[in-house]
Amino acid sequence: MLQLDFRSRVPVYEQLTEKIKELIVHKVLASDEQLPSVRELALELTVNPNTIQKAYRELERQGYIYSAPGKGSFVKPIEQIDNTRQKEELLEQLRKITAELLYLGTSIEEILATIQKTKKGGGEK
């Protein structure tokens, strides 16, 4: 389910956070679905449980998951996520990146094709 690159410069907890967000966004993980326990996932990925806990805390802070004391962590239903501020920040980043790509000679068609490819789940080159 999750594959991490231990040679990457990106910290493992950040990789894990992004992978789980991707699974939620692409609806691989459904609303209210329980995530593996910290201990289970740490064993599966052979990483320190503190790393998993840090990723789960970050996902909860960002509003992607919620915790039920004594029961575990669950995917937060999308309709409950208030992501207005985060969407505005990301759209601003997208505007800046788009402006830079246009300046570097990238066509609108190429930018739109990349967005379409990302929407279909093929975000990596």
Per-residue pLDDT of the chain (125 residues; tens, 9 = 90+): 688 988 999 999 999 999 999 898 888 999 999 999 999 999 999 999 999 999 999 999 988 999 999 999 999 987 666 667 778 888 999 999 999 999 999 999 999 999 888 877 654 44
Q: Which two tokens stand for residue 87?
A: 């969407």
For residue 36, give both structure tokens: 């593996």
Architecture label for domain 12-79: Orthogonal Bundle (1.10)
Q: Please report, for residues 10, 44, 54, 62, 73, the alpha-carbon distance to residue 70 in angstroms, rounded to integers and kept in the order given.
A: 31, 21, 18, 21, 9
Confirm if 55 and 16 have CB atoms less than 8 A apart.
yes
Per domain, the residue ranges of the chain are 12-79, 84-119
Nearest to 6, CA basis, from 51, 53, 73? 51
